[in-house]
Amino acid sequence: MKKILMITAVLGLVTQSCTKVNENVYDKYSTNEFYASPAGADVALANVYSKVTGSWGSNYAGRDNCWYDLNSYSSDEQVIPHRNTGDWQLDFAQLYTRTALPSLGIINNTWNWIYSSVYSANLAVAQLTAAKADPSKIAEAKVIRAWLYYLAIDDFGDVPFYTDNNTDVSKIPQAKRADVFKFIETELKENVDQLSETRGGQYYGRFNKWAGYMVLAKLYLNAEVYTGTPRWADALAAANKVATGGFTLHSGAANTASPLGNQYYELFGDVCPNDETIMAIFLTENIISGNILGIRSLNSANGTALIGFAGWNGTIIPSEFYDKFADNDIRKKQFLVGPQAGSVTYTRDVTSLMDPGAGPNEGIRDVKFFPAAPVDASGASNDFPMYRYADVLLMQAECNVRLGNPGAAAPFLNQVRTRAGLGAIASPTLDNIYDERGFELNMEGHRRQDMIRFGKFTLAHGFVPTTPAYKQIFPIPTGALDANPTLKQNPGY
């Protein structure tokens, strides 16, 4: 940071002295010299990573109304009902019930965030390439860009595609989902092995080799959805690569110091443990964005009793999702139902999501991300685990089952189940793995993608009717269609 400020100061002095055309300046970097330096390369990358953390309506996870909300509230794991007291807009319930229109703000925010981030990634690639920077830094910028396009095709299908910022926004071509898939695959395969193998430290929130292979594994895991051709063996090979990074499951042992009673919940606290975390987002309330996921679920009085600040009385867990958890599963401790601190009683069920809406204390609450200090009424400081080793184990299990080897899948699945306090399954089925992914990864942004891949997204559940297949991707937002007349809306919308 000091180097950045020094460069800014130097440039400012040069500007002030511009009338002295014969003045000699000895400490000014040229653009290429700057981005070729280690500090300059990190500045180029930091401009992209800052988009990931983002803020309200413009981020991957932590704050609200962007990517996390779009992909979480359109699944079966959580919803924010409109309250019959007038609280909460209909956006979240519309996502949950599959009734959202292309004009929905959360859809527009996610689209704008992805493409603003793509622009920054393109810029970083161009700056670092022109400067002939460290090849590993150029590779890192390309991997970030590939990840962003992976998010884009996952949500929107056929999407605008460009790698050169000198492109007229109104004329950016819309590429086929399968073609963008090929670009992502090529970029990852050509660059992942150039990334650092360092875990934690400066790579806690950056793409290292293991995080890069994680994205490649996810890409292959969903290849049949994106291209029509399954790539289970490739997904397994990429997941196996991640597993060579030396990761282990964090302990699930009892811990009286934890608000939820087990060391397992340290994975979702102030700092994500390095043993299991592959990549995380660093968040600190009022300094670097913040995390609202726990405080958004708590009722005002319950929040005040637990953490000293009123909760937002928003997110609830549908009872049919909650009911799948076994009582002896330590992961069930994240849910609050019945009498609670602050003289609040949360009911198991809600009577209405939209009209007239749910009562103030209706619905099961979730504190998997139990608000970590510093915390205030706007959020907390829990970091967000983008990718964890438990997910790798479940991907290894899934791929083996899909390849006809349930016996080989069992050890991977059962490591996760054993930590949770559950018994082993000798010959797991796809339904076993689908359920386990819901138990282990709920509230972490993976559920919508899992529902689609396992063929569950279109099925009726709770307040959600049977859903047409076209709604497995979101509509292109109205604003994007207005800005680029060459774009075609996704079929059905």
Q: What pLDDT, on the 0 to 100 scale, is given for residue 30? A: 84
The percent of the chain in helix, strand and coil, each rounded to the nearest 5, is: 45, 10, 45
CB distance 67 to 151 below 8 Å? yes
- CA–CA gap between residue 223 and residue 219 (Å, rounded): 6
Tokens for 163? Answer: 């790698």
Query: Per-residue pLDDT tens for 187-234?
Result: 999 999 999 999 999 999 999 999 999 999 999 999 999 999 999 999
Size of the chain in residues? 493
Tokens for 189? Answer: 């395969």
According to DSSP, the residues that pair with 295 across neighbouring strands are none
Q: How far, in Å, are 69, 180, 231, 255 from residue 448 at the CA level?
A: 11, 20, 20, 32
CB distance 314 to 88 below 8 Å? yes
CA angle 386, 389, 395 (to 5 degrees): 95
Neighbours of 186 (CB within 10 A): 12
Q: What pLDDT, on the 0 to 100 scale, is given for residue 113? A: 98
**DSSP 8-class letter at 373:** S
Query: Per-residue pLDDT tens for 251-284?
Result: 999 999 999 999 999 999 999 999 999 999 999 9
Tens digit of pLDDT at every position of the chain (493 positions): 333 333 333 333 333 334 444 555 445 568 899 999 999 999 999 999 999 999 999 999 999 999 999 999 999 999 999 999 999 999 999 999 999 999 999 999 999 999 999 999 999 999 999 999 999 999 999 999 999 999 999 999 999 999 999 999 999 999 999 999 999 999 999 999 999 999 999 999 999 999 999 999 999 999 999 999 999 999 999 999 999 999 999 999 999 999 999 999 999 999 999 999 999 999 999 999 999 999 999 999 999 999 999 999 999 999 999 999 999 999 999 999 999 999 999 999 999 999 999 999 999 999 999 999 999 999 999 999 999 999 999 999 999 999 999 999 999 999 999 999 999 999 999 999 999 999 999 999 999 999 999 999 999 999 999 999 999 999 999 999 999 999 999 999 9
- CA–CA gap between residue 207 and residue 203 (Å, rounded): 7
Q: What pLDDT, on the 0 to 100 scale, is given for residue 28? A: 53
Q: How far, in Å, are 48, 154, 255, 480 from residue 107 at the CA level?
A: 21, 13, 40, 11
Tokens for 375? Answer: 């915390």
Helix (H) or strand (E) holding 11: helix 2-16
Neighbours of 227 (CB within 10 A): 18
Which amino acid is it at 111? Answer: W
Q: How far, in Å, are 332, 362, 393, 438 from residue 441 at the CA level?
A: 12, 24, 12, 6
Q: Is the bond into 477 cis (omega within 30 degrees of 0)?
A: no
Tokens for 25? Answer: 């300046």
Burial readout 198-216 (b: 16 or more C-beta within 10 A, e: otherwise): ebeeebbbbbbbbbbbbbb
Burial readout 28-50 (b: 16 or more C-beta within 10 A, e: otherwise): eeeeeebbbbeebbbbbbebbbe
Q: What pLDDT, on the 0 to 100 scale, is given for residue 20? A: 45
- Nearest C-alpha neighbor of 160 from the set 177, 145, 146: 177
User: What are φ and ψ of residue 481, in 5° steps?
Assistant: -65, -35
Q: What pLDDT, on the 0 to 100 scale, is given for residue 185? A: 99
CA angle 145, 104, 119 (to 5 degrees): 20
Tokens for 338? Answer: 């019945």
Query: Per-residue pLDDT tens for 236-253?
Result: 999 999 999 999 999 999
**DSSP 8-class letter at 466:** P
- CA–CA gap between residue 126 and residue 189 (Å, rounded): 20
Q: What pLDDT, on the 0 to 100 scale, is given for residue 9? A: 32
Burial readout 437-465 (b: 16 or more C-beta within 10 A, e: otherwise): bbbbbbbbbbbbbbbbbbebbbeeebbbe
CB distance 345 to 361 below 8 Å? yes
- CA–CA gap between residue 134 and residue 138 (Å, rounded): 7
CB distance 298 to 377 below 8 Å? no
Strands 159-160 and 335-336, bridge-based pairing:
unpaired
CA angle 462, 464, 466 (to 5 degrees): 115
Domain residue limits, the chain: 4-34
